[in-house]
């Protein structure tokens, strides 16, 4: 476990220790090197660290010949591309065929909300995303909201829809972040864990898709599923929806 002392890391350690078919062999956190020695024979590593560290961790895991399940946010097309290249280079050099699974959200409610939103997107003139999280979160907008907005944008483009209508002329800072042309609003509030609302509008009607993770245990079935499945999926997989056959 990388990030073992963190909120998610501690929860994952407990979940792995409670699973009869899994064994927790190493707990690493900031300042620990990621090497075959420190990984202590692990077949799969789980990374819940920080956006500034996760890419280097994944490259170190690939060099160590260990499959990776990554929940840390902050990934871009470029950083994912570097992982794809690294995996291909290792395989071409006769190294192990490794799997890396990066998912911005392992909660079933969140994965389903994103899937439903991607399906609905083509039918609505307007679409916006609101994500709501605990105030100790270091990145905004959330990885889940970015993934959701990207899927909505792709579905709108496929359907030939233009931008959502918006007559704003001033005060753009109040209109949230622009993720692939979809407005994303980030709320940080003590008492929250992780929540998302996807709003769709047409003349005279609205569809709201909402999911709530009230406790970090909600992410554990998805994390454990990914740990069990990642070695059977060589290369890079992005999103738990692919493992759940929802994509
Ligand atoms: N995919 C999901 O379902 C999901 C769910 C919750 C959180 N997250 C994401 O997971 C990440 C962690 O969230 P959190 O709430 O557990 O954060 P946290 O701050 O509680 O934990 C992060 C841990 O990583 C450690 N760390 C920092 N740099 C490190 C390094 N180089 N190597 C190893 N460990 C290092 C920190 O010391 C800390 O213990 C965030 O990016 C968050 O957005 C994803
Ligand atoms: O607590 C966090 O931080 C979370 N981050 C993820 C995100 O950025 O989407 C998933 C939910 C919890």
**Of all protein residues, whose CA lies closest to atom 8 belonging to ligand 2?**
142
**For residue 106, what are the contacts with CB-CB under 8 A and spacing of at least 6?**
71, 219, 220, 221, 222, 223, 226, 240
Distance 106 CA to ligand 1 centre (A): 14
Report CA-CA distances (Å) from 154 to 105, 111, 118, 210. Answer: 19, 17, 8, 20
Residue 107 CA to residue 180 CA, distance in Å, equals: 24
ipTM over 0.90: yes
Q: Which pLDDT does position 247 carry in this prediction? A: 81
Q: What is the largest CA-CA distance in the chain?
A: 62
**Best probe residue, ligand 1, of 1, 8, 68 (max atoms within 8 Å of C-beta):** 8
E strand or H helix that includes residue 218: none
Q: Which pLDDT does position 245 carry in this prediction? A: 86
Question: All domains of the chain, ordered by start, with CATH?
Answer: 7-102+217-243 (3.40.50.720), 108-214 (3.30.360.10)
Distance 201 CA to ligand 1 centre (A): 35
Distance of CA 15 to the CA centre of its chain: 19
Distance 105 CA to ligand 2 centre (A): 7
Residue 111 CA to residue 203 CA, distance in Å, equals: 28
The phi, psi pair for 207, rounded to 5°, reads -120, 125
* Catalytic site includes residue 137: yes
3-state secondary structure of 164: coil
The active-site residue, picked from 59, 67, 133, 195, is 133
The phi, psi pair for 185, rounded to 5°, reads -110, 135
The pLDDT tens digits along the chain (247 residues) read 999 999 999 999 999 999 999 999 999 999 999 999 999 999 999 999 999 999 999 999 999 999 999 999 999 999 999 999 999 999 999 999 999 999 999 999 999 999 999 999 999 999 999 999 999 999 999 999 999 999 999 999 999 999 999 999 999 999 999 999 999 999 999 999 999 999 999 999 999 999 999 999 999 999 999 999 999 999 999 999 999 989 8
Instruction: Indicate which ligand has the atom closest to the C-alpha of 147.
Output: 2
Q: Any idea what the Cα angle at residue 42 is, between residues 36 and 43, rounded to 5°? A: 115
Structure tokens at 209: 């898709």
**For residue 223, what are the contacts with CB-CB under 8 A and spacing of at least 6?**
12, 15, 46, 69, 71, 106
Report CA-CA distances (Å) from 43 to 161, 201, 229. Answer: 45, 46, 12
Q: Which pLDDT does position 6 carry in this prediction? A: 98
Residue 65 CA to residue 174 CA, distance in Å, equals: 46
**Of all protein residues, whose CA lies closest to atom 3 belonging to ligand 1?**
105
Report the DSSP pairing between strands 99-102 and 67-70.
parallel
Burial (CB count within 10 angstroms: exposed 0-12, middle 13-18, buried 19+), residue 193 = middle
């Amino acid at each position: 476990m990388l990030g073992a002392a963190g909120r998610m890391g501690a929860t994952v350690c407990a979940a792995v220790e409670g699973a009869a078919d899994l064994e927790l062999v190493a707990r690493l956190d900031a300042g620990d090197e990621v090497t075959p020695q420190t990984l202590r024979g692990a077949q799969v590593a789980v990374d819940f660290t920080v956006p500034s560290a996760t890419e280097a961790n994944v490259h170190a895991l690939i060099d160590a010949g260990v499959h990776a399940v990554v929940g840390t946010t902050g990934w871009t097309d470029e950083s994912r591309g570097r992982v794809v290249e690294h995996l291909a280079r290792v395989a071409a050099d006769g190294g192990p065929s490794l799997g890396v699974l990066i998912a911005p959200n392992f909660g079933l409610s969140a994965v389903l909300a994103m899937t439903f939103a991607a399906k609905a997107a083509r039918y609505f003139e307007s679409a916006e995303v609101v994500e709501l999280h605990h105030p100790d979160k270091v990145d905004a907008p959330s990885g889940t909201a970015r993934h959701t907005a990207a899927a909505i944008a792709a579905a709108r483009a496929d359907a030939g829809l233009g931008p959502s209508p918006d007559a704003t002329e001033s005060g753009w800072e109040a209109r949230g972040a622009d993720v692939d042309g979809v407005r994303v609003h980030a709320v940080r509030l003590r008492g929250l864990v992780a929540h998302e609302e996807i709003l769709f509008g047409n003349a005279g009607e609205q569809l709201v898709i909402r999911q709530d993770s009230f406790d970090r245990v909600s992410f554990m079935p998805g994390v454990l599923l990914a740990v069990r499945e990642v070695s059977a999926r060589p290369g890079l997989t992005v999103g738990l929806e692919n493992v759940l056959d929802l994509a």
